[in-house]
Structure 1
Amino acid sequence: MNSCNQLLEKAESLKKELSNSRNGLSSDGSGKGEWVSSRTSLQDVYRQLLITNLEYALDKKIEQDLWNFAFKNHITALQQQVKDKSNTYRAEAQSQLTSFLDAASGFYLHLLDDLCQTFHVNIPYRVSSSKLIFLKESASVKRSSVTQPERPSCQYMCQHCLVHLGDIARYRNQITQAESYYRYAAHLVPSNGQPYNQLAILASASGDVLSTAFYYCRSLAVKCPFPGSDTNLRKQLNKIMAGDDPRHTKISTSELVKFCLKFHGCIYLKKSKIGICLY
């Protein structure tokens, strides 16, 4: 446990360094090398914690900090730079984003394989480390120092990797691959609502309002609901209810779907909109 505490202290120090370095995005490139070094070290420390003592790591929410501080914050910052049409460094930001997403995908594929091998979890669709030759070899963890966790914790952590592999694929606009990862994640731990929330995000992007509502509801109707799904569902239903009502007696299938969702929106949001059910 002392070694875990030491690793956690090191991680906290690295987090502060990353927070003070503006995600390595200074236009003149100053501090970028230090930022990359700190981020790589943080990834390795978190990986060691997850492999060495998974129960301890999950209790400290290491998996969330790993995603947010080592990957998500930088991805979001680069995405904002790419979207900013006034930014003269848009092309460079796009190149950096593409490379960073490749590295992020490789990291989580490698971590997933490490988890499966260390904790003897059988996931048929994982990529073995022997095929990830493009990855830099990370620090090895002595098997003798590993504390065997409970099986649900192993499955949850593997699901966590699958969800974020899906997120990374979605950021790369690889929609079919993203959906596959989310479905694999949902199949692995059906009682966790996060994969269903992510499937709803995909459905929303494609304009499928019925599937969007279904997956948000599915995300809430499980043993461990995803906290953001309620807010996301409310936003979707409010948007649908704000839309125009059909003006013809004969309505299309898509209008009927929206009509049905308006009815459910009235119930879920406890709003009154007389007339939407009178057709």
Structure 2
Amino acid sequence: APPTPHPPGATPAPTNMNWREEILESKKHTHDKHQENTHQRNRLNSAMSEKSVTESSTSQPGILILPQSSVSHLQKDQGRGGSVETQKTLFDHHNPSKPIIVQTSPSKVDMRMERSIKESSSRGGTGYEVGDAARAARHRALLQEVDRADAVLQTHTLRGPLALAEHWNDVIDTRKSLQNALQRLLMSDLKYCQADNIEHHFWKILYYNFIEILRKSFTQVSPEDKPKIVKLINVIIEEGNTFFESLVQMLERTYKFNTDDYINDNHALPPKGLGYVGLALISVQKLYVFLGDLARYKEQVNETSNYAKSKFWYTKAQQINPKNGRPYNQLAILAIYARRKLDAVYYYMRSLMSSNPFHSARESLLSLFDENRKKYEAAERKRRATLETTNNTNGEAGSSGAPGQSLRRE
């Protein structure tokens, strides 16, 4: 019979082999082929691992790039979103093409992060900063008007204190527009006001800058012109008292709450979950501090020392939310005026230990300690000088008395 043709690539068996030898030979070929495939697969995995490490090192240090299949698999798992357990994919450097999948239960932090990412993506943003930027963009026209009004007020202040006092009516309309702008922002977007500290910004534009410039001019004007400056400062202070008190009432009406219900004298924190009422209370606390500052400026300008009204406002501000350190700092200032240094140290410490500390209190506290240290060192030097003088006097008296005693013995 003609010989049977061999399939392509097959190795023909020798003609002198029996059937047992043929079986052993075929097993040997199969084992060699399997070993060769294993070596090839290992070389391929090693090449892929080196490639992934090289790409990660050239793009960003410390980042391991997962294969595209694992990334798409991870995105698919994240897209479900309703399962109790989630899958995390870890990179396996021994086998880059097959990542390690770990089943984990999402923590509360992860759930909040996922929810915030979904909310920001639905708004077209990527985080908190984008939300603030979106709010600022929403009030862009109003904020541009505020900047223009601020520039106008700064131009008037450059004319000098006397010119400002004589032409104060020229700035009344501009200041009124700024007051209306603050009211609109507080009544429409409390979150943006708290994020950018809008109340403090308007406080400086409308009141603080004017009062400081006029107070510093006392040494520059003549004694005949000083009453005009004092009168203007009192006008600004009274206007501020009326404006801020009315602003507190507007916040209470708009957000339907009563501030007195949240004022406590036992240093208890306000309840959680107040929402917009909580944000409005933060604004009220700032306004109370402004009212206390105005009362303090009035006493200083009129050269009186009755700071009871100022302390009243600072204490109310502190009672709204003891976690804020600024009211404690203001109370420390009043304690310094009253020369109650120990009370000042206490208030400065409370200001720094608050959850929202007032960092400037640290310099004030160090200055107070340094002042006490200098007084102690001066008193110690004086005590030592007195002690040395006494010792010297006693020594001279003893040496002068010795000859007399010898004469009496003789």
2:344 alignment partner in structure 1: 212
What is the letter of the counterpart of residue 44 of structure 1?
N
What is the letter of the counterpart of residue 284 of structure 2?
C
CA deviations 1:63-83 (Å, max 9, x no partner) are: 111110011001112222335
Distance in 2 between residues matched to 1:106 and 1:196, nearest whole Å:
24
Listed as ranges, the matches of 1:189-268 within 5 Å are 189-243=321-375, 244-246=378-380
SS in 2 for 1:192: coil
Listed as ranges, the matches of 1:31-110 within 5 Å are 32-82=168-218, 84=220, 86=222, 88-110=224-246
1:14 matched to 2:121? The reply is no
SS in 2 for 1:190: coil
Q: Does structure 2 conserve the Cα–Cα contact (< 8 Å) formed by 1:169 and 1:175?
A: yes
Q: Does structure 1 conserve the Cα–Cα contact (< 8 Å) formed by 2:161 and 2:229?
A: no
Shift of 1:59: 1.9
Shift of 1:149: 5.8
| 1:168 aligned residue (269, 275, 294) | 294
Higher relative contact order (CA 8 A, sep 6+): 1
| 1:182 aligned residue (310, 314, 326) | 314
Change (3 A) 1:241 1:79: same
Distance in 2 between residues matched to 1:41 and 1:163, nearest whole Å:
23
1:159 matched to 2:277? The reply is no
Distance in 2 between residues matched to 1:28 and 1:70, nearest whole Å:
18
CA deviations 1:186-210 (Å, max 9, x no partner) are: 0101000000000000000111110
What is the letter of the counterpart of residue 67 of structure 1?
W
Q: Does structure 2 conserve the Cα–Cα contact (< 8 Å) formed by 1:200 and 1:211?
A: yes
Distance in 1 between residues matched to 2:158 and 2:253, nearest whole Å:
32
Change (3 A) 1:24 1:31: farther
Change (3 A) 1:187 1:89: same
User: Which sections of structure 2, spanning at least 5 residues, go unmatched?
Assistant: 1-134, 263-273, 300-305, 385-410
What is the letter of the counterpart of residue 191 of structure 1?
K
Distance in 2 between residues matched to 1:237 and 1:100, nearest whole Å:
36
Distance in 2 between residues matched to 1:110 and 1:240, nearest whole Å:
43
Distance in 1 between residues matched to 2:196 and 2:349, nearest whole Å:
29
1:113 alignment partner in structure 2: 249
Shift of 1:32: 3.8
Q: Does structure 2 conserve the Cα–Cα contact (< 8 Å) formed by 1:24 and 1:32?
A: no
Distance in 2 between residues matched to 1:221 and 1:183, nearest whole Å:
17
Alpha-carbon RMSD across the aligned residues, in angstroms, is 2.5
CA deviations 1:35-54 (Å, max 9, x no partner) are: 23222211211221112111
What is the letter of the counterpart of residue 155 of structure 2?
N
Distance in 2 between residues matched to 1:28 and 1:79, nearest whole Å:
15
Q: Does structure 2 conserve the Cα–Cα contact (< 8 Å) formed by 1:166 and 1:177?
A: yes
Distance in 2 between residues matched to 1:172 and 1:216, nearest whole Å:
23
Provide the identity percentage.
Answer: 24
User: Which sections of structure 1, spanning at least 5 residues, go unmatched?
Assistant: 127-147, 250-279
Change (3 A) 1:26 1:209: closer
**Number of corresponding residues:** 228
Shift of 1:99: 1.4
Distance in 2 between residues matched to 1:63 and 1:80, nearest whole Å:
24
SS in 1 for 2:260: coil
The TM-score, its normalising length taken from structure 2, stands at: 0.51
What is the letter of the counterpart of residue 16 of structure 1?
A
Q: Does structure 1 conserve the Cα–Cα contact (< 8 Å) formed by 2:162 and 2:229?
A: no
Distance in 1 between residues matched to 2:216 and 2:258, nearest whole Å:
38
CA deviations 1:15-44 (Å, max 9, x no partner) are: 122122217745345754332322221121
Q: Does structure 1 conserve the Cα–Cα contact (< 8 Å) formed by 2:161 and 2:214?
A: no
